[in-house]
Amino acid sequence: MKYYYLFAVLLCVAFSSCDGRKSHKESLEESVSKFKLKDSNLDIITYYPKQYTEVATDTILSNTFQIKIKNYSLMDNNVIITTSSQENRNKIEYHRVFESEIIVFNKSEKILETTINAEIFKQQSTINSFWDNATLEHVWVNQESSNDDTVNLEISFINPKDKARKLYQMSIDKLGKYNTFLRDEHI
């Protein structure tokens, strides 16, 4: 009789532990499959540079010219570098568009104030696929080629999609008149 009570207790314990719940492995597999169905497309977006970037320079040349240049990124304007898709993931890389503000003084009198960006050069250029994805890279004063009568600025553009580059020179005279010409390109 003792064995019957022991057998009955073991039987009750066995039935009460088998309440029909899923195992840990089954629950995990179900959660993963629900997640994959819910988030069918996952976009991974990266920007270069990641945040706002600004470089400002103030240069004085031979007590005649003062040049202020501010190169900065536009947070709402981008160039797509690459896009790729794998399974349910889309990876998109963007390069932020840059522009530059230039102010030139001749003996403390403002003679030129302008903004340089790729759109201006694209409008002035003949049809060229370089400009479709181009952005300003940097503007700087070329002190070696500048003199008392003219200031020479170097303007570099990059097409981040195909790594092509163009380098322009802008010559500014004492009256604020300027002209630009292409110095070098790597396409």
Q: In this structure, what CATH number is given to the domain that contains residue 72?
A: 2.40.128.510
Q: Which amino acid is at 68?
A: K
Distance CA 103, CA 109 (A): 11
* Within-domain flag for 174: yes
* Within-domain flag for 90: no
* Within-domain flag for 33: no
Q: Which amino acid is at 9?
A: V
**pLDDT reading at 64 higher than 70:** yes
Displacement of CA 147 from its chain's centroid (Å): 36
Residues 150-173 have pLDDT tens digits of 999 999 999 998 889 999 999 999
Q: Number of structural domains, the chain?
A: 1
Determine the Cα angle at 173 with ends 172 and 174, to 5°: 130
Q: Which amino acid is at 38?
A: K
What domain range is 117 assigned to? 52-77+98-186
Distance CA 138, CA 57 (A): 11
Q: Which of 50-64, 121-135, 159-173 has the lowest mean pLDDT?
A: 121-135
* Within-domain flag for 19: no
* Within-domain flag for 15: no
* Within-domain flag for 12: no
